[in-house]
Amino acid sequence: KQEVTQIPAALSVPEGENLVLNCSFTDSAIYNLQWFRQDPGKGLTSLLLIQSSQREQTSGRLNASLDKSSGRSTLYIAASQPGDSATYLCAVRPYFGNEKLTFGTGTRLTIIP
Amino acid sequence: NAGVTQTPKFQVLKTGQSMTLQCAQDMNHNSMYWYRQDPGMGLRLIYYSASEGTTDKGEVPNGYNVSRLNKREFSLRLESAAPSQTSVYFCASTGGGTSYNEQFFGPGTRLTVL
């Protein structure tokens, strides 16, 4: 059974710093991995989707990498801002045709002004 | 585009009451999902529908039923609500085109069962 872990559960950093969020998964046979952010009381917003054949994806100040062989993905946030404060979740899809994503429990990020 | 919409936003039920949560998407997506989110448990899949006319159980289907009414709409029904079903419920969809395999979420329904 696929398990997805995000450590740490919470992280606080000063504004302006670059930071890395981690996502680990136990079964490397994945189809894709998706990063989301969730603001308090809101739904999930998709940030980046990485297909299994890709090594990284970038959107603005965000860069997500994928290393299937080691079962790891990282989300890099450059020049952090208070508006980046949210919970960040990763989710893996096992293979094409399987609709069941497995989610991590998230990292709650606080950017200190 | 409204994306994924859910109604109601909030609901309070008494044990044993029934209700239906509504979800609709306007992105022409084939697949739709219902999740629940509980503190410390993360997101868990209740049911999903890979295409119009099909539904399948997820990780925690007991106590729920679903209907894929058409390509746009996917409803979740609680026939006899229990306090253990107090949770935040999210609907999501996945489709093709430029966002192939990317999952999009609705704003959620916060349900309390007394």
Three-state DSSP at B13 gives: strand
Three-state DSSP at A3 gives: coil
Going residue by residue through chain A (113 aa), what tens digit of pLDDT does each one get? 889 999 999 999 999 999 999 999 999 989 899 999 999 989 999 999 999 899 999 999 999 999 999 999 999 999 999 999 999 999 999 876 677 889 999 999 999 99
Number of Cβ atoms within 10 Å of the Cβ of B68:
19
Q: Give CA B49 to chain center in angstroms.
A: 10
Contacts of B36 in chain A (CB under 8 A): none
Give the separation between CA A30 and CA A92, rounded to whole angstroms. Answer: 7
* Interface contact A104, partner B, CB < 8 A: yes
pLDDT at residue A94 in the model: 83
| Residue position matching structure tokens 């609907």 | B91
Nearest CA in chain B to A9: B40
Contacts of A43 in chain B (CB under 8 A): 4, 90, 105-108
Q: Are B58 and A100 in contact (CB under 8 A)?
A: yes
Give residue B96's pLDDT band: very low, low, confident or very high (50, 70, 90): low
> In the beta sheet, which residues pair with residue B41?
none
* Interface contact A86, partner B, CB < 8 A: no
pLDDT at residue A81 in the model: 97
Nearest CA in chain B to A6: B42
Touching A: B residues 33-72, CB under 8 Å: 33, 40-43, 45, 48, 50, 56, 58-59
Whole-number Cα distances in Å, B70 to A27, B51, B104: 34, 9, 18
Q: Are B113 and B82 in contact (CB under 8 A)?
A: yes
From A59, A64, A53, select the one nearest A91 (Cα to Cα): A64
Q: What is the arithmetic mean of pLDDT over B29-33?
A: 92
> In the beta sheet, which residues pair with residue A58?
A63
| Residue position matching structure tokens 């999903």 | B48
Angle at B67 between CA B74 and CA B22, to 5 degrees: 40
